[in-house]
Structure 1
Amino acid sequence: MFPLKDNIPTDRLPVVTLTLIALNVLVYLLLQRPGSILGDPDQQFIVDWGAIPYEFSHPGDQCGILGSQLVCDGPSVEVTGPPTVLTAFSSMFLHGGLLHLAGNMLFLWIFGNNVEDAMGRARFVAFYLLGGLAALGLQIAVGPDEIVPTVGASGAVAGVLGGYILLYPRARVVTLIFIVFFFTIIELPATLILGFWFFQQIAFGALDLTNPTGGGGGVAYFAHIGGFLFGLVAIRLFATRVKDLPFGGAKYPVY
């Protein structure tokens, strides 16, 4: 399922949402991947500016690349990154690949513009960043000794999704659905799409915990869960102008 657009118009230009998208894209193209779009991002840059749970749970210790390995607090590790606390914010603007970036920005655009419209620009900035911090906090709590950098806007975007599902429970989303070699476009309830996504993160996160060899494929599922829960809990504190729009009944496939 790939959401394409929702049916809630915005009253104001979503300046913050557009700015966040632009910043994420520019960081990826100019800093992570200078001079190239294809291929792997700069691993040294990700290690330096990504959020490494081990560094947060072991204050004073820092991680770096030694040879081809990522090690923490080793005698020969050259530390070139910023202070650990800064990486909690910088990691929200890094991505592991082009598809990772595109997926996060798609969700941020579809759902972020309405959440921004409901709370205003300054509040939305605070809500977005706090959602990212909450996401990282749960990821660290679950895996405090992990030395793999946590990167991506996913946690902060998950906070937006959690807020959206409470603000607009009757919203509908035009969604692209693939069925084997065929596809269709249909309007689905936002609660179905976002609810399915959230419980999928819980299921994958639980599977990751029970798999001793790690089955998450590098995905920080608990960051997604932490961000979404923050959005559910905090949205009423930030939203100041929620619309009560009359939505129609069930929709049928449009393609």
Structure 2
Amino acid sequence: MFVPLHDENPLKSIRFQWVTILIIAINVVVYFFETARLDEVAIASFAIVPKELFDTSLLPVPVEQTGPRFPERLTLLTYMFFHGDILHLLGNMLFLWVFGDNVEDALGHIKFALFYLACGVAGGLVHAFVDPGSDIPLIGASGAVAGVIAAYLVLHPRVRVWVLALKAIPLRISAAFALGVWIAIQIVMVFLPQVGPVAWWAHIGGLAAGAILVVFLRRPGVPLFDKGLGAGA
């Protein structure tokens, strides 16, 4: 598994990745708010609970629950701004920091914001459809970030990326290899016995949405798969 550090891919159409930075800032603020002010039951109010999402008769709500309760369909948006712990948050935001700017560059600010949210919604829906009877809350930006990863791979597979291999060894490799390995792991994991809290199907839903949407939402003239990029770039 690779931890991304930096990509050698300057912006071409925008001066700064305002939306990417804003999304990261919102996630960080929400995380500190949830850890300081909300208990687990209140956080679950913002999470996707498949059984509740597909059932008009909601699960019983404990009397001691504090905090707001959102309409279930709205959790398809709210869930992606909450995280289970600091490592969950940092992992998602690191991938978004490294790869989000170039996807924002290819789409433009407004379309990138809509793209990010759409990928998150797609990830949440796929997760819920796969296990509609689950009452386990789903939170995290992984589905949305997976969409960004897929879009980056469709746009820039030949760009060189600095990563940490095995969390310790710095390597300069192609985005196709680094992100291709990450995507392959997500696909393999959905076919293995599910152990632990990772919602692999949410990743798959985000990946599929990102790979499709970037083709239609990119700016006119933005090439796919680094078409026209010189050798050795």
- TM-score w.r.t. the length of structure 1 is 0.82
Kindly provide the CA deviation profile for residues 76-124 of structure 1, in whole angstroms up to 9, marking residues without a partner as x.
x999511111111110100000000000000001110000001100100
Aligned residue type for 1:3: P
Aligned residue type for 1:200: I
The one of the two structures with greater contact order (alpha-carbon pairs below 8 A, sep at least 6) is 2
Contact in 2 for aligned 1:64/1:79 (Cα 8 Å): no
Aligned to 2:51: 54
Matched, 1:27 2:30: yes
Aligned to 1:43: 40
Kindly provide the CA deviation profile for residues 148-200 of structure 1, in whole angstroms up to 9, marking residues without a partner as x.
11100100010111111011111111011238xxx321111111111111111
Mapped partners of 1:178, 1:29: distance in 2: 29
Mapped partners of 2:62, 2:8: distance in 1: 47
Contact in 2 for aligned 1:57/1:144 (Cα 8 Å): yes
In structure 1, list runs of 5 or more residues that go unmatched. 36-40, 68-76, 209-213, 250-255
Mapped partners of 1:101, 1:187: distance in 2: 25
Aligned to 2:230: 246
Aligned to 2:7: 6
Counterpart selection for 1:201 from 186, 202, 213: 186
The alignment's C-alpha RMSD in Å is 2.1
In structure 2, list runs of 5 or more residues that go unmatched. none
Aligned to 1:91: 79
Mapped partners of 1:134, 1:10: distance in 2: 27
How many residues matched? 225
Counterpart selection for 2:163 from 175, 180, 197: 175
Matched, 1:222 2:228: no
Larger Rg: 1
Percent identical pairs in the alignment equals 38
Contact in 1 for aligned 2:42/2:66 (Cα 8 Å): no
* Structure 1 residue ranges (4+ consecutive) displaced by more than 4 angstroms after TM superposition: 77-80
Counterpart selection for 2:105 from 102, 117, 123: 117
Contact in 2 for aligned 1:174/1:187 (Cα 8 Å): yes
Contact in 2 for aligned 1:174/1:185 (Cα 8 Å): yes
Aligned residue type for 1:10: L
Counterpart selection for 2:170 from 173, 185, 191: 185
Aligned residue type for 2:178: I
Mapped partners of 2:181, 2:74: distance in 1: 33
- TM-score w.r.t. the length of structure 2 is 0.89
Change in Cα spacing, 1:145 to 1:120, as seen in structure 2 (3 Å) is same
Counterpart selection for 1:237 from 210, 213, 216: 216
Mapped partners of 2:60, 2:102: distance in 1: 39
- Per mean C-alpha deviation after superposition, the further-off stretch among 2-11 and 55-64 is 55-64
